[in-house]
Amino acid sequence: MPKTILVTGASSGFGRLICETLAGSGHIVFASMRETSGKNKDHANTLRDRGMKVVDLDVTKSASVESAVAEIVTTHGHVDVLVNNAGVASAGVSEAFSDEQVANLFDVNVLGLHRVTRAVLPSMRKNGDGLVINIGSILGRVTFPFFGIYGASKFAVEAMSDSYRYELSQLGVDVCLVQPSAYPTQMYASAAQPLDQSTVDAYGEIGKIPAAMFDQFMTMLSGADAPNPQDTADAVSDLVAQPSGARATRVVVGTSFGADAVNAAIAPIQAETVKALGVDRLERSKVA
């Protein structure tokens, strides 16, 4: 049965592939992005031409989020699936990022996810059914030097995903986390660099490592053996197709760099923690 699905950050990269894949499976897909009449006009028109519905949505603005979700609920009654994909990246000496840069990154990657989820959940709770898929990263489980600001936001997404999963488990709403590795998408190509060059220079040779690492990553991601971003879209599509209560909590996509081992190691510890708090029934979906 076709589902009504909202995907954020759909102008390019994972988001666009996720939209195209889900639409190809017969779902009603709302592809959201900023500036659908401005800089993303061509992207929006392309998705419309391919049968998707496009909504203007800026995850950093509550009014924009609420308006977009209200438009979907008004025209289609509810949202079955939310894919929180919108995100930005950063790479460089952590100390050299300004407070404003860090705040802006968290505004998109963490607060943006929270804004959209809050706007969609009333519809899901009312129906007693729904699925939230958060696009995290292996860097929410393992840390790469010089990617710490971005990684910190994805560690936050890990905690939020778990908390939402527990709290919604008895209300018919599944929460899953997809953890992609590095893929050749626009997000990595446009990763923010630190603005405080004097601090970067003060690190001497260490300060030159991020650029060399990033160049190496970009070379790897542009080669003949580069990983295919479609892997992430397929992982999302698989979760959508699975029955409620039977979906994996986390799905690593691509080279894990040990993230899968961290997932396996933490799962029983987390389960024991919830049990010790006396709320272990929240570990199990009501419909499972």
Largest Cα span, the chain: 59
Closest CA to 113 of 138, 129, 134: 134
Residue 76, Cβ neighbours under 10 Å: how many? 15
What lies within 8 Å, CB to CB, of 3 at 6+ separation is 27, 28, 80, 81, 240
Name the β-bridge partners of 5: 29, 81
Q: Are 215 and 170 in contact (CB under 8 A)?
A: no
Residues linked to residue 28 through DSSP beta bridges, in sequence order = 4
Q: Is the dihedral of CA 22, 23, 27, 33 positive or negative?
A: positive
Which of 35, 27, 21 is closest to 2 using CA atoms? 27
Q: Of the listed 150, 164, 166, 183, which one is catalytic?
A: 150
Annotation says 166 is catalytic:
no
φ, ψ of residue 105 in degrees (nearest 5): -65, -45
Alpha helices in the chain (DSSP H): 13-24, 41-49, 62-76, 99-106, 112-127, 148-168, 186-189, 197-202, 209-222, 230-241, 259-276
CA atoms of 175 and 285, how far apart (whole Å)? 10
The catalytic residues are 150
